[in-house]
Structure 1
Amino acid sequence: MIDPSDRPAFSPWTDPVTGVTSYHLSQRVAPLQQSFYFTNRSLSEDGRWLWFYAAHPPGGNAYEGRCLGVCDMVDGDVRWFPETQFRDASPMVAGDSGEVYWCWEYSVYRRGPAADAETILVNSVPEDLHRGRAGERLATHLTRSADGRNKGVSGSSVKPRIATIDLEKGEVTVATKADLD
């Protein structure tokens, strides 16, 4: 794991009461930079890529204006990717590759951390499931299956509310009520 204490992109801050030192990302690509929600990892398994929310007010709430940024913990580069707009706390880092996944409307996307990486559409929920309704929230949190081959989607805009996407084949499987009983 890479130690942030010797990285130029970070500044130490010591709590005067507890004496605990935290390291804050001081290099900025947006006025608002925030860590991922605690349920989703934001760091690649090797510790090289630290992903975070980035916003330019007045956008930046849970429903609009937040995109993704990444810090390369090895060379100190910090990047912002405006094409990664998402809602809620949907972004998730694939720990092995450092790629990030996120939702927008009825689709799941991914991209790598390199500046020249492409944004890739992983899959979209078929229209017969969402029936053309506005896509408020496909997923609040993305997860991966234990074997890493499937991505779980749990949200409120599509019913039933649980589905999986096969990451190799791109197939969507929606849980039925019988599957959940």
Structure 2
Amino acid sequence: MRILGIDPGLQTTGFGVIEAHGARLHYVASGTIRTSSAHQGDLPGRLKIIFDGVKEVVARYQPQTASVEIVFVNVNPQSTLLLGQARGAAIAALVSSDLTVSEYTALQMKKAVVGHGHARKEQVQAMVTRLLNLNGEPGRDAADALGLAICHAHAGSSMAALAQATTLTRKTHAQFKGGRTY
């Protein structure tokens, strides 16, 4: 299975493509999509670059599935909103290419690649290099994207098996108690 990992960012979006044959992983490609050609205040222009860049990566490498990092609230809410829009542009490009998209947190990816969820970027780079038997370390954004693809290669089959075994449904009723929905 060919897996595309996307590490979304408004200035730099990382991508990584691997092939998984059972437990064996093979590197295909990685890189970044940079939006520096658009003016910093031109948000729609930057989102278009991300959308078009992801579409080009999908067309070139023909992945069968994709994985994207989930964005959490940072210290600066404005930065979080902008990052969410970059993530949305990448997901829209993947979905419009008829790919299934799985989502993983940075903690899940780091745990799958390094072994603990609070690993530093350098540790992710080193382990991605080792796991994929690369000659040199990929850049930080590309390494994170490759890490997301590796995470999906390891966890994706388990998640699919769970989805087949059980039906996940929303509760049809809700009670409000102490400000929480149950």
User: What is the TM-score of this pair, normalised by structure 1?
Assistant: 0.26
Write 1 or 2 for the structure with the bigger share of helix: 2
Structure having greater relative contact order (Cα 8 Å, sep ≥ 6): 2
Write 1 or 2 for the structure with the bigger share of strand: 1
User: What is the TM-score of this pair, normalised by structure 2?
Assistant: 0.26
